[in-house]
Amino acid sequence: MNLNLRVMTPIRTVWDGQVQEVILPTNSGKVGVLPKHASLLTALDIGVLRVRTNTQWSRMALMGGFAKIENDRVTILVNEGEKASEIDPQEAQKTLELTELSLNKADNPRQKIEAKLAFRRAKARLEATIQAPIS
C-alpha cells in the first residue's frame, strides 16, 4: 500500500507522488504516517520532512505550514520547501554560521525573534542535506 504525498508552496509543487512512509515535523514533535493512518490536520514546524519510497529515504526542508492526512493522501501546504538535492550544503553551513552570529548579537526582543527564526530555517536546510540514518 502507498500514500499519495503532495507538498506545495505558494509558488510551486515540491513533491507529488506515491510514497510508503512520511515523517512530519509538527509543532508537537515528529509524526510518522503510514497507509491507513487516521485522518489528521496538523500544524507543521520549521524542520525536515522525511519521505520513504521503497527503501530509499528523501528529505525536504519545510518552513512551517499545515498537513492534512485523509484516505491515504498527505497534503502539505508550506510557506517554503526545498528538497535536499536543491540545497548546497556548503552554502547552508555558511548561512547557519551567519545566522548564529546574528542570534548571538541580537540585543532587543524583536531582533532576537527574527534571528531565532532565521537560525531555525538555516538549521533545517542544513539538516535536510545530512545523509545520516533516519531517527
Predicted TM-score (pTM) of the model is: 0.90
Residue 135 lies in a domain: no
Q: Other CB atoms closer than 10 Å to residue 83's CB: what's the count?
A: 16
56 and 97 within one domain: no
Q: Which CATH number fits the domain that encloses residue 12?
A: 2.60.15.10
Each residue's pLDDT tens digit, 25-40:
999 999 999 999 999 9
CA distance 128 to 60: 6
What is the count of structural domains for the chain?
Answer: 2
Residues 15 and 70 in one domain: yes
Report yes or no on 19 lying in a domain: yes
Asked whether residue 15 is assigned to any structural domain, the reply reads yes
Q: How far apart are CA 46 and CA 119, in angstroms?
A: 10
Q: What is the grid cell recorded at 77? A: 501546504
Using one digit for the tens of pLDDT, what is the confidence trace for 109-131? 999 999 999 999 999 999 999 87
